[in-house]
């Protein structure tokens, strides 16, 4: 089974997996959340390309949600992708 990120047209979301310890956590983020957070000025942006470009930041958001108790699959919202204040 492949674990590459892919765009799911019916849900209009990118689906992907993030390593968490010895496991992979399934997650998704909508086309809209990716657009408004990372490329608000773009026209006809590709959600999978946007995910791949910002995967490191998006994966951190998934792990943060898991640490807060989110269950798989983790569905990221725009709020989850906000810039975090330094501790």
Spatial separation of the C-alpha atoms in residues 25 and 72, rounded to whole Å: 6
H/E/C letters for each residue in the chain?
Answer: CCCCCEEECCCCEEEEEEEECCEEEEEEEEHHHHHHHHCCCCCCCCHHHHHHHCHHHHHHHHHHHHHCCCCCCEEECHHHHCCCCCC
Could you state, in order of their start, the residue ranges of all structural domains in the chain?
A: 4-8+36-87
74 and 66 in contact (C-beta within 8 Å)? yes
Mind listing the pLDDT tens digit for each residue in 17-49? 999 999 999 999 999 999 999 998 988 899 999
Mind listing the pLDDT tens digit for each residue in 74-86? 999 999 998 765 4
Q: What predicted TM-score, i.e. pTM, was given to this entire model? A: 0.89
């Amino acid at each position: 089974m492949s674990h590459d990120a892919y765009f799911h047209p019916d849900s209009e979301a990118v689906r992907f997996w993030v390593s968490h310890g010895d496991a992979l956590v399934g997650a998704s983020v909508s086309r809209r959340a990716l657009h408004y957070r990372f490329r608000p000025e773009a026209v006809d942006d590709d959600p999978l390309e946007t995910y791949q470009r910002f995967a490191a930041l998006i994966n951190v958001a998934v792990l943060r949600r898991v640490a807060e108790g989110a269950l798989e699959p983790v569905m990221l919202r725009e709020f989850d992708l906000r810039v975090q204040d330094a501790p």
